[in-house]
A and B are shown apart, each in its own frame.
Chain A
């Protein structure tokens, strides 16, 4: 039982983790992309459609990543080149993503999905308890962990990470030193889009292998909240994502048990929990002010 719950927690946490780590990189570069939900849902529908049409889960995953990146490229063009308002453009991205996914997905409603195969590591997967939990996951779970480790390492130890942090901290200084602010930000936005697309693909190919309209159900927004919760530190994103994964699974089990609590109340728990978490973290001014990228959401137009 416990093992099964732990497995579902991992599955519930992975899309949040992927979307949040991508957005963390975007925000560290100084850009606020509120379109995570839109990119996720497009990843979900594209992943499902491609996997369904080609019969290949791998191609489905690549399609999901591509869809997220394509949408984020659109966002990047508007926000970085045309200097549009980041909040409004992010909202536009979400609205467009939700609309487009509904249109594309219409043909796939009720179509049985393709579930990603779990990696079966000989010997390791057969270990009791540890085996299925740690060595019996699908490849995206491992990818999510690898991406977090890579991002954490890159931010702290590599020159690319240093440049990214510099651009997010002070774009005017970065420009004066000759760093290409817009190029760095555009790459970060693309990375965030790829991660959000992958997160969506995971939803429709592994979490619940089917297409349902609006199936991301606000997870993109929760991922945005997780970045705040993590105060822009990668390893804290892991804690946050798994915490939220656990909340989701608990409400799911509580619904199964029933016990007189309205299902709608249980369903709203993740959203209420998000608000509570935001309040707890944000009221700590010192933590948020010190860690918030100083240029977050601010437009930059280089003089020439």
Chain B
């Protein structure tokens, strides 16, 4: 082990010994155990502490966890992570200016925000792979957050020590220029050119006191996305801006654009065709949505390959709106359920599939039956399932175009549908074009 790598362990032993022994001496002892006798690091540290008159139990246990395993109450935890982002920030503490670094760590299991409370001791940079020891976690907004305080140490690791899932990794070549449809959770230093469709201000309470948040909707020719600006860039509706240094976080799979005071915003000439209505939803393939995890207000076309259980005439709890099954609400027990209509359809475009949830109004329009008729039909037949059968009759194996927000959960993509229509595809013109293309290429 090289001298540099020893340093964090030397300082840890020094802390346990309470500066009774010089760091040089500790380093010499540790070096002997490790490099001459080749014992394990853990044993070496304990032995050195014992030899120099300290309590080896005061050494950190070194529990190593994955980011997804953190609960928010760890006092001391070790982690092998990659730095996805590192932002510097100056804070005033006891009349002194201190620099801290905050950002996002990632490992195979996920990502987590961190704060390193000393920029000099933790010179974190985007893309580094680190062994972080003795970090602690706290809950913030109901989610664990990682902190590197006075006891923490970092050790540089080889770049391939952390293998991140596809799409999560930091872009290898600095800032990324992206279109709205390409925004992906965890992206940093994003440059995006888009038109501001709406902007509103909101006062929020943060750790540093009251702040004004500027949020709204922006769009380019690939889609629309919600944004939050944590600094006043004097954004105006209908302006076309280029934002540099934005980052992406997602909410239930829907990517959202964030940018703070370190970002740059400049007004640019619109690169979008004048007749293009950016406020309209854009068509997306399910595979694309799968890759980014979700999207705000998009159009998806596919075939209805299944109408799931729980479609048709259902009953909901009058108090919490949950599904009532066998006259029982999961939360409120026996209740008098209220009838509702809905469809949970699996829409499949050949490269991906998602569940589309259609509410009563959309179901009524699409199937051509209203709630009252449905209740009557089910009563007459003494079987509420006939409504589901009727929906299947109408939708199954048919092309359907749906519009809405796409979110993701453990079971994959789900769209909360705001509009739906069955369409008759134009086949011949499309086929002729494709044929001409193929024969032209031959």
A and B part of one assembly: no
- On A, residues with C-beta under 8 Å from B are none
- On B, residues with C-beta under 8 Å from A are none
